[in-house]
Structure 1
Amino acid sequence: MFELGYELVAMLILAAFVAGIVDAIAGGGGLITVPALLLAGVPPLQALSTNKVQGTFGAATSALSYAASGRVDLRKQLPAAAVSFLGGLAGALLVSVIPTDSLQNALPFVLIAIAAFFALRPGLDDTDRVERIKPALFTATFVPLIGFYDGLIGPGTGSFFMIGFVMLAGYGVLRATAHTKLLNFASNIGGLVGFIAMGSPLWALGLAMGVAQIAGARLGSLLAMRIGARLIKPLLVGTSSLLAIKLIWDRFL
């Protein structure tokens, strides 16, 4: 049975707290927690499933925080959340069946493109813009695609949801951030259910990290709502770029 010392557990709890802050603001908290779990010696499948456990707490806290401030109506998002859940479940169940090498090779360059979009596009702020796709079509097409990706691979899910809300739904940056959280929570839960079927997470560790995620997500949400796009944009650019660099290093170097 896999066991961790107290020092490593404390390190992972701290990593979860920082990840909660980052994820609540811009997404990409998995950039911190998954490598931390792997560096601690957690086997890859258990690392992914444990990460889903702790990540659900942060996503849920962020969703509730943004809802409490009036930034998002969670009840209206329930159909989209159900679709995201099913997508995450399907992706996790098919992770050992579908070859993902080509997608993983392309992912760093997609993340670089997202970073460049948010860094270079002029006038991208908290102001809503023209809706390019109807909500029902967005839910039926874009949401299950990203949910499936979350269950299948995972890194950058929050950023992908975010750019969809900005580019397709026409949301401002802060509103887009608020609307990603319930969908990310749902795809996380779907992915977790799938991973449980294939390999049990480290429940005690995941729950301990989840408590730290709650604290981090609460702080991150408050900062994002207070500062808005001036904080969200640079952090999203930074996390997307760092994740791309890490993936390039892991895949090609």
Structure 2
Amino acid sequence: MFEVSYELAAMLIAAAFAAGFVDSIAGGGGLITLPALLLAGASPVQALSTNKVQGTFGAATAAVSYALAGHVEPRRQIGAAAVAFAAGCLGALAVSIVPTEGLRYALPVILIGIALFFALKPGLSDQDRVARLTPTLFTAFVVPLIAAYDGLIGPGAGAFYMIGFVMLAGYGVLKATAHTKLLNLASNLGGLLIFAAQGAPWWAIGLAMGVAQIAGARIGSRLAMRIGARVIKPLLVLTSTALALRLIWQMI
């Protein structure tokens, strides 16, 4: 039934549940699922593409949960989501031709910077602040960069979207988290479209992981909406630091 043994399938499904929970709150769920897929024997392209399959379910669940609770109006994000989808496609197309070594060296520094920002900056809360970019400029310049990265590599994209909303769009922490999810879903779908056309994903295990992602994302998004910045900030610091450490470990 699955592309892996039942023991490995159980491990991957459990990893997807944890990833759905983490990703719905702070992003970075790929930190859990991508290494798990590689450990299960997937090639890098199979792991990236299967990660898109299961991650799409979690992102969609979180996006719907935040929208139903009134924390985001999806209709206002349609344009940004379209940009994210297109950029995610381009990122996935570039997997075989873009040298990612330089990006891998820069990412740990960026992620540690994100962790320090949320850990040390005073006054970060669920209250909005002054925006540094208009919505149009944010959609034109910030969204495609993060979405292309999501299609190209993926893990940490949710955290990048979130810090962009906080630092540049002036959103409070909970509002930023809510607005991240539809864009993350769109860039995930863009990358998945390209990988699916290449026949790369493990569909059976990817769909099973997707069901677990739904469960994790429902629990995580409810917790984030109930507690807000008090749970989002620490988890974002933890996931950003963990992803940075994993990338550093890979380079040693």
TM over 0.5, yes or no?
Answer: yes
What is the Cα deviation at residue 216 of structure 1?
0.4
Structure 2, gaps ≥5 residues long: none
Q: Report the 3-state secondary structure (helix = DSSP H, G, I; strand = E; otherwise coil) of the residue aligned with 1:209.
A: helix
What is the match of residue 17 of structure 2?
A: 17
Asked if the contact 1:45–1:199 (Cα under 8 Å) also holds between the matched residues in 2, the reply is no
Asked if the contact 2:91–2:191 (Cα under 8 Å) also holds between the matched residues in 1, the reply is yes
What is the match of residue 72 of structure 1?
A: 72
Once the two structures are superposed, residues 145-200 of structure 1 have per-residue CA deviations (whole angstroms, 9 ceiling, x without a partner) of 11111111212100110011000100000000000000000000001112223342
Asked if the contact 1:49–1:199 (Cα under 8 Å) also holds between the matched residues in 2, the reply is no
- The amino acid that maps onto 2:61 is T
Q: Report the 3-state secondary structure (helix = DSSP H, G, I; strand = E; otherwise coil) of the residue aligned with 2:71.
A: coil
Once the two structures are superposed, residues 194-227 of structure 1 have per-residue CA deviations (whole angstroms, 9 ceiling, x without a partner) of 2223342011111100000000000000000001
Residue-pair matches, total = 252
What is the match of residue 38 of structure 2?
A: 38
- The amino acid that maps onto 1:231 is V
What is the match of residue 243 of structure 1?
A: 243
What is the match of residue 28 of structure 2?
A: 28
Structure 1, gaps ≥5 residues long: none
What is the match of residue 217 of structure 1?
A: 217
Matching of residues 121-132 of structure 1 within 5 Å: 121-132=121-132
Matching of residues 124-163 of structure 1 within 5 Å: 124-163=124-163
Asked if the contact 1:92–1:195 (Cα under 8 Å) also holds between the matched residues in 2, the reply is yes
Asked if the contact 1:173–1:232 (Cα under 8 Å) also holds between the matched residues in 2, the reply is yes
- The amino acid that maps onto 2:202 is L
What is the Cα deviation at residue 11 of structure 1?
1.0
Cα distance in 2, alignment partners of residues 15 and 107 from structure 1: 23
Matching of residues 24-103 of structure 1 within 5 Å: 24-103=24-103
> Between the two proteins, what is the percent identity of the paired residues?
71
> What CA RMSD, in Å, does the superposition of the two structures yield over aligned residues?
1.2
What is the match of residue 167 of structure 2?
A: 167
Asked if the contact 1:80–1:143 (Cα under 8 Å) also holds between the matched residues in 2, the reply is yes
Q: Report the 3-state secondary structure (helix = DSSP H, G, I; strand = E; otherwise coil) of the residue aligned with 1:179.
A: helix
Cα distance in 2, alignment partners of residues 30 and 152 from structure 1: 13
TM-score (norm 2): 0.98
What is the Cα deviation at residue 3 of structure 1?
3.1
